[in-house]
Amino acid sequence: MRHALLFLIPLLVACGSQRRQLDAARVYEEGGMHWEAYSAYRELYTRKPTMATAHVGMQRAAKALVMGKAAAAIAAYDNGDIKGGDGMRDETATFRRRFATDGVSLQEEPGLEAARSQALAREARNAMEQAETAYRASKFEEAAIAATRALELDPTLKEAEYLQRVAQLETRYQQALRAEELGLLHDAYRAYSWITEKDIGYKDAWQRLASIRERVHFTLAIVPLYNNGIYTVMLGGTPGLVEQQLIANIESAILALNDASIILVDRDRTDVLLAEQQRSMEATYDERYVVNAGRLMGAARVLAPRIIRFDDILNRHIEVQIQIIDTGTGRIELSQVLGVTKDELRTGNTRTQLIELVAGKIARSIAAFKPAPVPTEE
């Protein structure tokens, strides 16, 4: 009998402890301390998975927590606080995932998503009204920002999409006009080009673009300065072969830029005139030769690339000196050295990559070149 009592004492103590913890959990729950209640119920259930009371308590506390968060989110949405509502909505989802790991499954609050959708729709309408007001006041940049905000809130809002587009066009058109007034014709040209690409029916932009093109465009001939000291020639290769490959790649790279301000002299005409120049000048190639060749081609400016370093076998690099020369005055308007190293290469034919990459750099340098605009006739 004494041994049986000794065996029952720990069980009685354990039962008493569980009852006290269950009572404490209920006190937390009744006091609205749902997380503390959930934790207490969870501890009991973890220790004794057969305790249905503890598991039911976990479900009640979890549901009260999630519903409280959802109610706070709905209240925020109803007050127009989308950021605050989204924060509480995220917390609701976090709690739901946390409870699911403990085996407590909760249904989503249906009113939460409806409240969010309504709040987004109201905010989108407000943003749309702001955009329309700004557009009527010719505040096009402000209108574009507000229309973009409306579209972010409600991607199905077609009127916002339309207003965003026309406001952006008007914003860029005003910027182009301002640039033109300040004499920044290349900036104005780029702005008008952007507009006409977005809206082919924008007649005013087309007219301004045509007017500026006549002032900023220039004809360009490419005439290489040959270097017979590069290894391909010294080893018996054809003189000028690498230069001709370079010219072809430069022309392709310039055309790929689709910059209407650069008008390249026709390649066939260039080849014929260069062949004539080579025969008549006995292979003497200098700046005077370049300028004379450019004049014969009818170009306002000539690009004179000269390969100063080339190795497609060991060091795998290329350096090209370029000059842009005004054929009317003989003045050098741009002089740079551009190169490509082996670190810029990928797998594949080394020579092809060296020439293509340096040609791309040369084309971008030419596109950034801004000759003095042709003055307008008074």
Identify the pLDDT of residue 49.
86
User: Which two three-digit tokens encode residue 250?
Assistant: 């430069």
Kindly state whether residue 376 falls inside one of the protein's structural domains. no
Kindly state whether residue 113 falls inside one of the protein's structural domains. no
Please tell me which residue, 363 or 257, carries the higher pLDDT value.
363
User: Which two three-digit tokens encode residue 324?
Assistant: 């842009």
Please identify, among 192, 214, 236, the residue that sits at the C-terminal boundary of a domain. 214
Number of H helices, E strands in the chain: 14, 5
pLDDT per position as a tens digit, 334-363: 999 999 999 999 999 999 999 999 999 999
Same-domain pairing of 223 and 356: yes
Same-domain pairing of 264 and 252: yes
Kindly state whether residue 307 falls inside one of the protein's structural domains. yes
C-alpha distances in angstroms, 233 versus 151, 228, 267, 280, 291? 62, 6, 24, 21, 25
Helix (H, G, I), strand (E, B) or coil at 8: helix
Same-domain pairing of 247 and 303: yes
Give the CATH number, domain containing residue 21: 1.25.40
Q: Is the pLDDT of residue 278 over 80?
A: no
Kindly state whether residue 237 falls inside one of the protein's structural domains. yes
pLDDT per position as a tens digit, 190-212: 899 899 999 999 999 999 988 88
Please tell me which residue, 115 or 1, carries the higher pLDDT value.
115
Q: How confident is the model at residue 368 (pLDDT cuts 50, 70, 90)?
A: confident
Same-domain pairing of 18 and 132: no
Identify the pLDDT of residue 123.
93
| Closest by Cα among 159, 34, 147 to 99 | 34
In this structure, what DSSP letter does residue 377 have?
P
Same-domain pairing of 233 and 336: yes
pTM (2 d.p.):
0.53
Same-domain pairing of 231 and 341: yes
Q: Is the pLDDT of residue 50 over 80?
A: yes
Same-domain pairing of 176 and 312: no
Give the CATH number, domain containing residue 312: 3.40.50
Same-domain pairing of 62 and 88: yes
Share the mean pLDDT of the chain.
Answer: 85
Same-domain pairing of 167 and 187: yes
Same-domain pairing of 342 and 241: yes
Q: Is the pLDDT of residue 273 over 80?
A: no
The DSSP secondary structure of 37-105, one letter per residue, reads HHHHHHHHHHH-TT-HHHHHHHHHHHHHHHHHHHHHHHHHHHTT-HHHHHHHHHHHHHHHHHHHHTT--
Please identify, among 183, 214, 245, the residue that sits at the C-terminal boundary of a domain. 214
Q: Which positions ≥6 away from 339 have C-beta within 8 Å? A: 309, 317, 318, 319, 320, 358
Mean per-residue pLDDT, 368-375: 70
pLDDT per position as a tens digit, 72-124: 999 999 999 999 999 999 999 998 888 888 888 888 887 899 999 999 999 99
Identify the pLDDT of residue 27.
87
| Closest by Cα among 144, 70, 155, 150 to 113 | 70
Same-domain pairing of 189 and 326: no
Mean per-residue pLDDT, 27-43: 87
Kindly state whether residue 2 falls inside one of the protein's structural domains. no
Q: How many domains does the chain have?
A: 3
Domain residue limits at 175: 121-214
Same-domain pairing of 87 and 168: no
Kindly state whether residue 21 falls inside one of the protein's structural domains. yes
Identify the pLDDT of residue 14.
47
Kindly state whether residue 51 falls inside one of the protein's structural domains. yes
Please identify, among 194, 214, 234, the residue that sits at the C-terminal boundary of a domain. 214
Mean per-residue pLDDT, 299-303: 91
pLDDT per position as a tens digit, 128-173: 999 999 999 999 999 999 999 999 999 988 999 999 999 999 999 9
Q: Which positions ≥6 away from 280 have C-beta within 8 Å? A: none
Kindly state whether residue 1 falls inside one of the protein's structural domains. no
| Amino acid (one-letter) located at 209 | L
The alpha-helical segments, DSSP class H, found in 102-229 are 110-136, 140-153, 158-181, 185-198, 203-216
